Structure 1
């Protein structure tokens, strides 16, 4: 299955954390939506994100060391839509500048919200479907 996905993450306590070349970033306690794409296999990409044993390649790899994946949503597509999805989430939530967007011109692919319910409702409203 090809397309885009959103990882809903929980960070249990506010803290700073080093995110690769982005440097040390403050993260607030709460929920985050990370938007990604997998144009070969969403299931394989999500499995990689859930794995503890991996080479750190993307910004999300660093964040996953201090957060927990609580929910996953997806949307099948033959074209890369992660930037379109990120733009829609940017209309609703504050973002972490530069996170996950080093290969595009988006402000960010990571968005913060205190409410998991609000994040999930917004993701579903923009056409995402529950995967986990």
Structure 2
């Protein structure tokens, strides 16, 4: 009998917002989002695979701030960059990404002291490169969504 390996790690979801839109984000209330590409930084120390599958699913209870953004008819996940690691790197990763993107103040960081875990970019290429470079700066090995899908 083989034991299932549970991956832990930190991730960046790259979300395209096709239109300017106002989204009601739980207790935060309405937020004005400009069209563009958004990088959401998160971590999953229980099961990275389960968390990413949840984010990719269209049927879920709206719980985290990012759920409300992903629930918008204008949004679509374009890429996920992640690193498998036992430690929680999301705040350090968000700090690195904040130097290159426009932060959405107070988004996704209610359980830490960061200003934000969501950042807007004009171009998908820059958002992906920024995420990959941030992981590398922290000496983490960035993988792409296809790496996780092809593993199975």
Q: For residues 8-54 of structure 1, give each alpha carbon's deviation from its aligned partner in whole angstroms, at most 9, with x where no partner exists.
A: 00000011111111110000111000000000111110100111221
Counterpart Cα distance in 1 of 2:58 and 2:129: 29
Please tell me whether Structure 1 or Structure 2 has the larger radius of gyration of its CA atoms: 2
Note the residue ranges of structure 2 that are not aligned, 5 or more in a row. 1-6, 136-141, 147-152
Pairwise CA RMSD: 0.9
Which structure 2 residues correspond to residues 23-102 of structure 1 after superposition, within 5 A? 23-66=29-72, 67-102=75-110
TM-score scaled by length of structure 2 = 0.84
Alpha-carbon separation, structure 2, partners of 1:129 and 1:89 = 17
Task: Point out which structure has higher relative CO (alpha carbons under 8 A, 6+ apart).
Answer: 1
Counterparts of 1:41 and 1:54 in 2: how far apart (Å)?
Answer: 17
Scaled by the length of structure 1, what TM-score is found?
Answer: 0.96
Is there any run of 5+ residues in structure 1 with no aligned partner, and where?
none
Distance 1:27 1:69 in 2: 16
Residue range with higher mean Cα deviation, 101-110 or 49-58: 49-58
Aligned with 1:36: secondary structure?
strand
**In structure 2, how many angstroms separate the alpha carbons of the residues matched to 1:87 and 1:129?**
19
**2:114 is matched with which residue?**
106
Q: Which of 107, 120, 124 is matched with 2:128 structurally?
A: 120
In structure 1, C-alpha distance between the alignment counterparts of 2:133 and 2:65, rounded to whole Å:
26
Structure 1 runs, 4 residues or longer, greater than 6 Å off: none
Kindly state the Cα deviation for residue 129 of structure 1 after the two structures are TM-superposed.
Answer: 2.3
> Does 2:145 match 1:131?
yes
Measured after TM superposition, the shift of residue 122 of structure 1 is 1.0
How many matched pairs? 132
